[in-house]
């Protein structure tokens, strides 16, 4: 008979050791088990400080890079109108607007009747740049601070941060560079609003 202190957490920890998932916190696993009904295959969500997905019925972390890749890769059909995106201009438009070229043209045509059009275009560009700065910063910080055991990307490749990296020094550099860029972009955004 199991002792009372032998909890589910311990079972999960043992299972993690067996499956090689030593980096997975048991606390998170318990949270996940409680929530299994809430997430289904292919879902992506953030829990704690990590992004998770369920693939082949296994909960696993998604590296920031996978998230970025997903943002850049296009689905086959436009989420807005459902048409297949195969035109040359669909790709660059999808990247920015998450819809096909035709949908963007239609949206912007409607917008043109209002004087907010120019502001919209400028803000869109700046906000997109800010998003990229945020994503890159957290991705780089993640990569540097990831433990030596490495991490598994969505396609199952174990990525490892190799070499004697000065984590503090690099983290500082990344934060500084991101902050400088962010400040510059935000100033631009505010200037545009004031104009
Ligand atoms: Zn469309």
Cα(107) to ligand 1 centroid in Å equals 10
Cα(85) to ligand 1 centroid in Å equals 8
H helices present in 56-158, as ranges: 64-72, 90-97, 101-112, 117-145
The answer for residues whose C-beta is within 8 angstroms of residue 53's C-beta and 6 or more apart is: 42, 43, 44, 45, 59, 60, 61, 62, 154
Work out the number of other CB atoms within 10 angstroms of the CB of residue 101: 19
- Does residue 27 come out as left (phi exceeding 0), alpha (psi in the -120 to 50 range) or beta? alpha
Cα(100) to ligand 1 centroid in Å equals 4
Cα(170) to ligand 1 centroid in Å equals 42
Query: In degrees rounded to 5, what are phi and psi of residue 60?
Result: -145, 160
Cα(132) to ligand 1 centroid in Å equals 24
What confidence score (pLDDT) does residue 37 get? 47
H-run or E-run covering 181: helix 167-194
Cα(89) to ligand 1 centroid in Å equals 12
Using alpha carbons, list the distances in angstroms from residue 170 to 125, 137, 173, 175, 187: 28, 11, 5, 8, 26
Counting Cβ atoms within 10 Å, is residue 120 exposed (0-12), middle (13-18) or buried (19+)?
middle
Cα(128) to ligand 1 centroid in Å equals 20
Cα(90) to ligand 1 centroid in Å equals 9
Question: pLDDT tens-digit profile of 163-181?
Answer: 555 677 778 888 888 888 8
Cα(104) to ligand 1 centroid in Å equals 7
Specify the length of the chain in residues: 195
Cα(65) to ligand 1 centroid in Å equals 26
Cα(75) to ligand 1 centroid in Å equals 11
**3 state DSSP class of 136:** helix
Q: What is d(CA 171, CA 11) in angstroms, rounded to the nearest whole number?
A: 36
Using alpha carbons, list the distances in angstroms from residue 21 to 12, 24, 59, 159: 10, 6, 11, 14
**pLDDT averaged per 10 residues, the chain (length 195):** 52 58 45 53 77 76 65 78 89 87 90 76 86 84 63 56 63 85 87 58
What confidence score (pLDDT) does residue 100 get? 94
């Amino acid at each position: 008979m199991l002792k009372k202190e032998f909890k589910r957490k311990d079972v999960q920890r043992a299972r993690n050791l067996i499956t090689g998932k030593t980096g997975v916190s048991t606390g998170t696993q318990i949270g996940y088990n409680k929530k299994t009904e809430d997430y289904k295959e292919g879902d992506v969500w953030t829990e704690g400080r990590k992004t998770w997905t369920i693939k082949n019925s296994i909960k696993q972390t998604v590296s920031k890079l996978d998230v970025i890749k997903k943002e850049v890769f296009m689905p086959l059909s436009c989420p807005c109108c459902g048409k297949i995106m195969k035109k040359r201009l669909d790709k660059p438009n999808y990247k920015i607007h998450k819809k096909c070229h035709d949908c963007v043209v239609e949206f912007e045509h409607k917008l043109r009747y209002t004087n907010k059009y120019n502001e919209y275009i400028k803000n869109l560009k700046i906000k997109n740049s800010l998003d990229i700065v945020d994503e890159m910063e957290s991705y780089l910080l993640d990569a540097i601070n990831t433990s030596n055991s490495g991490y598994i990307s969505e396609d199952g490749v174990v990525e490892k941060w190799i070499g004697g990296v000065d984590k503090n020094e690099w983290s500082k550099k990344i934060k500084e560079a991101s902050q400088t860029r962010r400040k510059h972009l935000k100033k631009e955004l505010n200037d545009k609003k004031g104009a």
